[in-house]
């Protein structure tokens, strides 16, 4: 990945677009990941010797594209993480799901538990609360475009909550059909308070591609 899509950068943070199928953080696959890519960009741009600090504030699943913010200082990282804990960082997603939702606007509330083998169990006693709000935007050929506000950021939350209600996401290889299509889930809006100036920042990006162009 050569061209880093930067939405915003200052001395404290950098906001970028993560393409689908790029890791947020390195894993044992050794495949390209956003943390390493952004670090490399900063090292080259500012000709920094040695290791470059970059704080991973939040993650997106590997197949999911969209907006991510990284912290360029430990103070910014701590303050952004605190906003997530307090529910002050707002994350919105577009998803295309299978079928037609009977209730066109509402909330899903479940308990989600991530097991050691990275599978997700729903509504277990030891699960953590998972909540999202959704609104149907458009329906087309037994597919539905949904606008989602993620209240809690649990592992695979959006994918599991819709799949458990018989509306798996289009192209979801894990919780949907094995059709080898790209998953239709995109983090299109991210808003938070600047960690230093306290100014409210809102970033938006419209997803592009065959299935998105079909709807948007």
Token pair 């970059």 is found at 54
Q: Which of 33, 61, 110, 172 is catalytic?
A: 61
Is 33 among the residues known to form the active site? Answer: no
CA proximity to 157, closest of 120, 124, 190: 120
User: Could you tell me how many residues make up the chain?
Assistant: 216
Tokens of 167: 């509306």
Q: Where are the alpha helices (DSSP H) in the chain?
A: 34-45, 74-85, 157-163, 210-215
Please count the other Cβ atoms lying within 10 Å of the Cβ belonging to residue 159: 23
- Residue 62: exposure state from Cβ atoms within 10 A (0-12, 13-18, ≥19): middle
187, 66 contact by CB (below 8 A):
yes
Catalytically annotated residues? 61
């Amino acid at each position: 990945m050569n061209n880093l899509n930067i939405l915003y950068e200052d001395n404290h943070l950098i906001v970028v677009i993560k393409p689908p199928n790029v890791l947020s953080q390195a894993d044992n696959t050794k495949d390209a990941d956003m943390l390493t890519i952004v670090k490399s960009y900063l090292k080259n741009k500012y000709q920094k010797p040695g290791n470059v600090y970059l704080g991973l504030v939040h993650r997106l699943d590997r197949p999911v594209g969209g907006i991510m913010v990284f912290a360029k200082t430990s103070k910014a990282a701590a303050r952004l993480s605190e906003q997530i804990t307090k529910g002050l960082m707002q994350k919105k997603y577009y998803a295309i799901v299978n079928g037609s939702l009977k209730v066109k606007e509402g909330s899903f509330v479940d308990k989600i538990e991530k097991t050691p083998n990275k599978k997700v169990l729903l509504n277990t006693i030891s699960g953590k609360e998972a909540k999202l709000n959704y609104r149907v935007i458009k329906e087309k050929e037994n597919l539905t475009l949904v606008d989602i506000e993620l209240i809690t950021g649990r592992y695979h939350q959006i994918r599991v909550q819709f799949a458990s209600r018989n509306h798996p996401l289009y192209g979801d290889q894990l919780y949907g059909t094995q059709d080898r299509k790209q998953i239709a889930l995109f983090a299109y809006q991210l808003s938070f308070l600047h960690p230093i100036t306290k100014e409210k920042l809102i970033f938006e990006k419209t997803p592009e591609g065959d299935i998105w162009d079909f709807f948007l």
